[in-house]
Structure 1
Amino acid sequence: METVGEQRGVGRRALLQAALATPAVGAFSVAMGASPASADHDGGDGERGKGNFDAQSPRFALAVLPDTQYLFDADSADPTPLLGTFHYLVAERGDANIAFMTHLGDVTEHGTDQEIALADKTFRAIDKKVPYSILAGNHDVRSSTDDQRGDTAYLRAFGPHRFAKSPTFGGASPDGYNSYHVIQAGGRQWLILALDWRASDQGLRWAQGVLDAHRTLPVIFTTHELVGSDDNGEASLSGYGRRLWDNFIRRNDQIFLTLNGHYWPPGRTILKNDAGNDVHAHITNYQDRYYGGAGMIRLYHFDLVRDVIDVETFSPWFLARDPQRRTPLEAETLELTGPADRFSVEIDFAARFQGFAPVVPPAPRPARAVMPRGTEAYWRFDTEGLSGAGTAGNRIAPGTVVRDLTGHGNDLTVQRLNSSAPEVLTWSPEHHDGQPAHASLRFDGGKNPDRGAILEAVAGAPVNSMKFRSGYTIEAFVKLPEPFEGDHAWMGILSWEGRNGDAGKTNGWSRDEPTCSLNLSPERFLQFVVYPDVQDASPTSWSHALPTGEWMHLAVVNNGQATVVYVNGSKIARNPTQPSTGIATLGKPFVIGATQFAEQFGQGFYGWIGDVRISSRPLRPTEFLTPFK
């Protein structure tokens, strides 16, 4: 609780009020002293709460609750704000996908039987509803003692027996003051380690044993004191924090985030452990704020897709108030938005956890495993589909055959455009993580001079003439180079040769366009344009700007009536509802690597192309070459 400085100039954000205050009023309409009657739904890990916690979602939240001591201070105690926080966590657990709450110590001001008993009663509002950990601060026990202090009122109320039936509880040290939980969130397990205000050598040996027994789990380390902060939010290790760092944290690469209270103002720093990796050390404490912090919490929003943790700080108790009735101090303290309280932490989770929990990529899948009913053509560039595959940078010579693994006779042959050099088409081991074949072709096409390479279906291949009137799905794995250099506007990924005008089409941009093509605009927007076999039309789908330097799965799905384009299993916005039945093919070759105009190739594709599959029925995303929900 020692003051290191004071933070000033707290802002207010209208967005929080608009987005959260309205539903929160309803959620908190129950009396603050009563347990919510609606909190009787399974939260997905055995804890009950309103709404379902989704342990598989890549987005989840960790709630952090620091020093609440001024709410349990002798005869001036008022636990109402903390009840508001607990009711919020229970009510919003499903919507915010709150996995866990961790208390950082100093539950009470003096650690008396009276204060501990009131805290014990207050915490019943969250028991068995949201899983949580708790630890002793220097105000909960005699500050001169360590975790070998023996029996205390705190231990009797918040010792291991309290969590014995919690499905996240992993165990406690023999003294009872140190504990750990294992939670399931983001599709994986995480370990929450809670150490006493002063961990003894025995306590640290116990903690090391816990980590040794869970060597593949990322660890969030919580304790009451570790770092303090200056007025600018720059944190540094305290004397005791240095002991924890040198003797425990820095040696264990699993620990990537530490959380502590005790000091104020809030702050953070990044430390380097013995493995050379970042350890994010955060201090959070609001007891110096209005109403003893008013049960203020932080939500650490983990986003495993964006590789970021977004942090926000607010008081659910003030949030539940009618905005028109909030006092000036309540309105000012509703949310803290300074850089020490609202921020984002970028973490490449896979890379950060690589040393102790390496991601095992999916194994290649044989062609026979990914050719369901309706598969008309399937090309891949590993040894199943391409002779000579396996040497990175190997130039693919003209005339080389890429086999159609369905056996339907849709083989492709390699051709170079104009007088292109041999390096315009090379073999690569690069691939999308979910791609069945762990191989691709690197195309080095461009406009100036016109260069590139194509894979062209052999004469008489069935795919050249198929009309697909009952629907179709065209899939391809694609990666654009980073940096994306040169002019590659309107380069083609795949197409059918020929002029739509020769198919009798009159209602398009130009009669010289091919009857079907998948291209990239100057802004890197994906463009799928098709001239249907039945209608005289040219419905065209447009995506957002595609990223560079990362693999994508592209899918074009037609149900016999309209077409929808997907990028990484997500439907893009600009899909026309215009009727579209079939493809007006002319018997001319299907091509990977370019698009014609007026039956001439002007440039080739620039980037990598992996597996390509064509099906004669509309597939659901769960049926794609890499399945999506």
Structure 2
Amino acid sequence: MCTSPEHGSEHARAGAGRRSFLRATALLGAAATAGAALPTVAEAASESRRRPDTDSRRFTLAVMPDTQYLFDGPSIDKAPVEASLRYLLEQGGRDDENIVFLSHLGDLTQNGAAAEVAAISEAFKLLDRRGVGYSVLAGNHDVKSSTTDQRGATPYLDAFGPDRFKGKSTFGGASADGYNTFHLFRAAGREWMVLALDWRLSEQGYAWAKDVLAAHPKTPAILTTHELVVEDDTLSTYGQQLWDRLVEDHDQIFLTLNGHYWPAARATRKNAAGHDVHLHLTNYQNRYFGGAAMIRLYRFDLDRNVIDVETVSPWILGRAGKDLNELERQEIELSGDADRFTVNIDFADRFAGFAPVPARPARPVARILVPGTVAYWRFDSAVTDKVRDLSGHGNDLGVVTVGGGTLGWASDHHPDQPGHGSLEFRGSKSPLKGAYLRTVDGAPLNSATFDAGYTIEAFYRLPADWDPAHHAWSGIVSRTGTGGAAGKTADDPDEPLATLSLSNDREPQWAMRPLNQEGIATNWGQETPLETWWHLAVVNDGRHTTLYVEGCPVVRNPKAASTGITSVGLPWLLGGYEYGGTIDQILHGRLGDVRVVERALPVTSFMNH
């Protein structure tokens, strides 16, 4: 459903963050290159002091791979790293970025020497001073590569051990040796984990990681380590060991991130539960300026069920207004398939094995009978010959069959539907066959004209075999009687007085003759995909009519004044459409709860809220 009543207020996501960054830090890189003092954290973040929105269903995880060539003995240049970290500070609370966490993938330094580690440690204090959540891990250049996490003290551990993270709200804990950590952050209204693992896990390291996952059984986990994927669809020998001993049997791990090798690459594997695990390699140390501390932005969008991935260099972006050299112009942003792509992932389905979303319970009829309800039908069980109007107003429905057609029943329903059942209409045309519902003769609804306004709602779902050649223009809810019979002959006089139908492109259409117009007033929605439940609402406030799909207003809502619905006292149909006073098409699909209210309802009072 639409979660915001403010339309047109969504920020353009792609590029907006970079543009605002350029405005805020245009001289950052130039100042650093010239030896001038870098702007303070307060200056760099002056445009945005807000914390990330932990309830927004759009958030960003930032990833920084191997920075080792920037911290190599006498060749130490922390400006690119600081530029990337300042970017995170400046962008973290913005709606178009909402950066919630940063993960470094190891090889912070080239030799693991104390001076190198001290330099990058000083850069990361930019995040420490603001309390920003992040994780780091040791790569083979930060420690002796032949050792495991049981190696003991190192300059890396002195600078980036557990003591550094104590007191951070995102820090979950560390292994006894200090080289493995886990971090918990909130985003999209739930808890997420980053499991940051050492260059080489010992037996103790594997046991610790399994214990952490077991202690957080419903938390989706992103595993970060230095080595895992070596090239597209291929794991290294150690990466295969990690998969076999840890990733494959832990369904919580849905994404792994590693550096070490280049160029960037991806793999997807099925875990023991049969679910996809996305394994990504990102590393730019082989590129100009040792990768210039490039960051990869993983933009999660739980409404679109995607992770949009982008790779940028804040250090070079920060000087884009100046004269960049030829190599910098090539590195400002990477747009190849390996560096900018989208991961499609149905988050609710992917996490259902360990953290299922509880189904919304059915709601009692009394809660749905809002003031002004004149008809309410729901299908909690199979229908034989009659459906009772639960509003108590006597607008009962009878079953009408054509060509021996029947109505089926299913427990399938829209996840936000009050009733937990639906009728299956099996209509088709050429020849016409099926069954539909019709209000009984003399039902009060038949003569109602809704002068003061109305709200008509319905839930529907079309099957995979829906074919426009046989199923187009079937009615969901229709009022019988023609324009000609009502003395209104403008437009097509044989069209029914009101119909909420589905076009040949599966677009919902509300076409009706208002009391104050001779012709037909029409509201059009957009194409609605098959095998998906949809909620429709037509709302008239006595002056104008608005069609909503999933609580969102459609673009083609006429501005002309529209009052009431013309009537000649004939029945309403569910699942049927008449033309020229004769049944012409029958719905092919499922129909859930239907409600008619004799006043305009706000979106927050719709049945799917």
8 Å contact kept, 2:405–2:434: no
Please tell me whether residue 145 in structure 1 is matched to residue 147 in structure 2.
yes
Letter in 2 for 1:481: P
Per the alignment, residue 23 of structure 1 pairs with 20
Per the alignment, residue 227 of structure 1 pairs with 229
The gaps in structure 2 that reach 5 residues or longer are 1-11, 30-37
Per the alignment, residue 525 of structure 1 pairs with 507
- Stretches of 4+ aligned residues off by more than 6 angstroms: 15-18, 38-41
3-state SS, counterpart of residue 143 of structure 2: coil
Partners of 1:280 and 1:405 lie apart in 2 by 49
Which segment drifts farther, 601-610 or 134-143?
Answer: 134-143
Which segment drifts farther, 59-68 or 351-360?
Answer: 351-360
3-state SS, counterpart of residue 74 of structure 2: helix
Letter in 2 for 1:67: D
Please tell me whether residue 239 in structure 1 is matched to residue 224 in structure 2.
no
Measure how far apart 1:22 and its partner are.
Answer: 3.2
Per the alignment, residue 79 of structure 1 pairs with 78
TM-score (normalised: structure 1): 0.88
Which segment drifts farther, 469-478 or 32-41?
Answer: 32-41
Partners of 1:114 and 1:316 lie apart in 2 by 25
Per the alignment, residue 515 of structure 1 pairs with 497
Please tell me whether residue 120 in structure 1 is matched to residue 121 in structure 2.
yes
Which segment drifts farther, 93-102 or 282-291?
Answer: 93-102
Partners of 2:112 and 2:478 lie apart in 1 by 74
The gaps in structure 1 that reach 5 residues or longer are 1-14, 42-47, 384-388, 390-395
Per the alignment, residue 211 of structure 1 pairs with 213
Per the alignment, residue 407 of structure 1 pairs with 392
Q: CA 1:309–1:621 in 2, change beyond 3 Å: closer, same or farther?
A: same
3-state SS, counterpart of residue 503 of structure 1: coil
Q: CA 1:21–1:211 in 2, change beyond 3 Å: closer, same or farther?
A: closer
Partners of 2:16 and 2:349 lie apart in 1 by 34
Which segment drifts farther, 266-275 or 80-89?
Answer: 266-275
Letter in 1 for 2:107: D
Per the alignment, residue 133 of structure 1 pairs with 135
Partners of 2:399 and 2:169 lie apart in 1 by 58
Measure how far apart 1:535 and its partner are.
Answer: 3.5
3-state SS, counterpart of residue 501 of structure 1: coil
Letter in 1 for 2:70: L
From 540, 547, 553, give the equivalent of 1:558. 540
Per the alignment, residue 606 of structure 1 pairs with 588
Partners of 2:308 and 2:68 lie apart in 1 by 27
Measure how far apart 1:29 and its partner are.
Answer: 4.1
Partners of 1:565 and 1:185 lie apart in 2 by 33
8 Å contact kept, 1:565–1:571: yes
Please tell me whether residue 475 in structure 1 is matched to residue 457 in structure 2.
yes
Per the alignment, residue 55 of structure 1 pairs with 54
Q: CA 1:149–1:49 in 2, change beyond 3 Å: closer, same or farther?
A: farther
The C-alpha deviation readout for 1:199-242, integer Å capped at 9, x for no partner, is 2111111111100111112211111112212xxxx242222223
Partners of 1:359 and 1:183 lie apart in 2 by 19
8 Å contact kept, 2:511–2:523: yes
Which segment drifts farther, 122-131 or 358-367?
Answer: 122-131
8 Å contact kept, 1:494–1:594: yes
Per the alignment, residue 401 of structure 2 pairs with 416
Partners of 1:100 and 1:286 lie apart in 2 by 20
Measure how far apart 1:439 and its partner are.
Answer: 0.6
Measure how far apart 1:572 and its partner are.
Answer: 1.2
Measure how far apart 1:98 and its partner are.
Answer: 1.9
TM-score (normalised: structure 2): 0.91
Per the alignment, residue 500 of structure 1 pairs with 483
Partners of 1:264 and 1:40 lie apart in 2 by 33
Q: CA 1:171–1:17 in 2, change beyond 3 Å: closer, same or farther?
A: closer
The C-alpha deviation readout for 1:360-413, integer Å capped at 9, x for no partner, is 211211111222222221100004xxxxx3xxxxxx44xx11111111211111
Measure how far apart 1:454 and its partner are.
Answer: 2.1
Partners of 1:40 and 1:17 lie apart in 2 by 20
Partners of 1:569 and 1:463 lie apart in 2 by 25
Aligned residues between the structures: 586
Measure how far apart 1:40 and its partner are.
Answer: 7.4
Partners of 1:406 and 1:226 lie apart in 2 by 61
8 Å contact kept, 2:308–2:343: yes
From 344, 349, 352, give the equivalent of 1:351. 349
Q: CA 1:75–1:133 in 2, change beyond 3 Å: closer, same or farther?
A: same
Per the alignment, residue 489 of structure 1 pairs with 472
8 Å contact kept, 1:559–1:617: yes
Q: CA 1:378–1:303 in 2, change beyond 3 Å: closer, same or farther?
A: same
Q: CA 1:88–1:498 in 2, change beyond 3 Å: closer, same or farther?
A: same
Alpha-carbon RMSD across the aligned residues, in angstroms, is 2.2
Measure how far apart 1:478 and its partner are.
Answer: 0.5
Letter in 1 for 2:308: D
From 531, 541, 548, give the equivalent of 2:530. 548
The C-alpha deviation readout for 1:445-480, integer Å capped at 9, x for no partner, is 122112232211122222222222222111100111
